[in-house]
Amino acid sequence: MRFYPPRGLKIVKAYMQYVWDEAWNKYLDYYNGYGVGFLGHRNPKVVAKLVEQLGTLVINSPSFDDPAKEEVLRKLPLVLPQKLLNVYFQNSGTEAVELALKLALNYTKRSKVVAFKKAFHGRTLGSLSLTWGSEYRKPADQALYKGVVFASFNDVEEVEKVIDEETAAVFVEPVQGEGGINPADPEFLNALAKRAREVGAVLVYDEIQAGFGRTGHVWAYQGLGAPDPDVLLSAKAIGNGYPVSLVAVSDELAESVVPGMHGSTYGANPMALAAVSAAVEVLLEDDVPRQAREKGKFFQDLFEEKLKDVRIVRDYRAVGLMIGVELRVKPGKYIEALQKEKVLALKAGATVIRFLPPYVTTEEDVRFAVDTLKKVLTS
C-alpha cells in the first residue's frame, strides 16, 4: 500500500549528502528521509559502531542492562539539559509523543491538552490528536483524543487565555517543520513556559525534527533563549536514520511513573543505543551545531542574492539547516523539477519547498541547490 504517490526514483546507494539511482546518476539529497540522516548517509562513525554492536548483542529487553545502554547513559548528559536526565527510548517520534502525553495526563490528573495550529506531532492516535492538519486527522477523527485545544502559534495574548488550571500539558515545536519551517518567537516561547509553570501544566518541547544540532544549537529552544521544558522529545537525527526516539523528563515526572503504564518491545535495543552513542560522538567531535549555524547563514545569504527578485517566491527561511522557501503557489511541480535536476527536496505546509540537508553538505552543494532552485522557479 502507498499513502503517497511514488517519486519515480529507485535509490540503490547513498553516502553522506548524496544518493545514486540504478543508472548511477548522483543526487544531492536534501530530502534526507524526512531529515533522519542529518549526520550523513552511512556516516562512518555510526556505521562502525553499529557493526561493532552486531558482533556482540543485537536484541535485549529494557528489563535487562547491557553495555550499550550503560555507554549511552554516560554520554547523554553531555548533550541533554541537566534537569532532564531521566530517559526512555522507543522506536519513532510518534511513540515519543504518545509517552509524553500519557506521562502528563498521569502526572497532573487533568484532561485538557494545548497544541498549536500547523503543528505536526505524529500519526498514531494520541500524537495525531495533537496534529493540526485535517488531511491527517480526518480518516480517524472519531477515535482521536477530545481534550485537545489548538491555539495560534506565536500569539502571546492567546497563551494566557488558553492555558489554564485545567491544562495537563502544552505541546510545542520550537521550530515547526511540517507546518512550514516556522520558528517560535522567543517572546512567545518564554510566555508559554511562564504560563505553563503558573498553572502547573507539563511543558513539552517536540524537537523530533529540529533537535540535535540542526538549527545551530543542540536543541532549538536553546537558540531561542527559552527555559528548559519538563519533557524533551527527540528522534530522527539522534540515531542518524536508525529507528530510535528519546523521551527525557524531569525528576518530578519520572517519580510519577506507574509500573506497567508503558513499555516498548524494541525500545532501548542495543543496536539503537549504539547508533545514539555514535551520533553523540559525531555531534560533539565535529561541532555539528556550529556547522549547521554557519551553513544555514550561507543558505540565507544566497537566498538574499538569488531569490529576492523571483516573483513566485513569497519568503525564505534558514533556521540552521532547516530550510524553507515559501512560494505563492503549490510547490509540487517545482519539487519534481528539482528532482530532474538532481536535487531531492520535499514539501512543508501548503506552499513551502523544504530542504533538510545533512550537516556534511558543502558550500559547493549549497550553491548548486540554490542555483538549481532559482533555475526551476524561473524556467
**Distance separating alpha carbons of residues 295 and 149, to the nearest angstrom:** 37
Bridge-based pairing state of the strands 112-116 and 167-172 = parallel
Classify domain 11-30+287-378 at the CATH topology level: Aspartate Aminotransferase, domain 1 (3.90.1150)
Residue range(s) occupied by CATH 3.90.1150.10 in the chain: 11-30+287-378
Instruction: Check: CB of residue 349 under 8 Å from CB of residue 321.
Output: no
Q: What angle do CA 83, 257, 151 make, to 5 degrees?
A: 70
CA dihedral 203, 247, 118, 169 (to 10 degrees): -30
**Distance separating alpha carbons of residues 202 and 354, to the nearest angstrom:** 31
Taking the complete model, does pTM exceed 0.85, yes or no? Answer: yes
What confidence score (pLDDT) does residue 83 get? 96
35-69 pLDDT, tens digit each: 999 999 999 999 999 999 999 999 998 889 999 99
Q: Which three cell numbers stand for residue 248?
A: 527525557
Residue 268: how many other CB atoms lie within 10 Å: 26
- Closest C-alpha among 288, 276, 266, 246 to residue 49: 276
**Distance separating alpha carbons of residues 213 and 78, to the nearest angstrom:** 13
What confidence score (pLDDT) does residue 62 get? 85
Domain boundaries 44-285, CATH class: alpha beta
pLDDT per residue as tens, the chain (379 positions): 999 899 999 999 999 999 999 999 999 999 999 999 999 999 999 999 999 999 999 999 888 999 999 999 999 999 999 999 999 999 999 999 999 999 999 999 999 999 999 999 999 999 999 999 999 999 999 999 999 999 999 999 999 899 999 999 999 999 999 988 999 999 999 999 999 999 999 999 999 999 999 999 999 999 999 999 999 999 999 999 999 999 999 999 999 999 999 999 999 999 999 999 999 999 999 999 999 999 999 999 999 999 999 999 999 999 999 999 999 999 999 999 999 999 999 999 899 999 999 999 999 999 999 999 999 999 9
Bridge-based pairing state of the strands 202-206 and 231-234 = parallel
Alpha-helical regions (H) of the chain: 32-35, 44-54, 67-75, 93-108, 125-129, 134-137, 156-162, 186-199, 220-223, 251-255, 270-285, 288-306, 332-340, 363-378
- Closest C-alpha among 16, 9, 79, 6 to residue 357: 16
Residue 261: how many other CB atoms lie within 10 Å: 11
What confidence score (pLDDT) does residue 294 get? 98
Residue range(s) occupied by CATH 3.40.640.10 in the chain: 44-285
133-158 pLDDT, tens digit each: 999 999 999 999 999 999 999 999 99
CA dist 344 to 119, 184, 269, 372, Å?
A: 24, 27, 32, 11
Instruction: Check: CB of residue 181 under 8 Å from CB of residue 348.
Output: yes
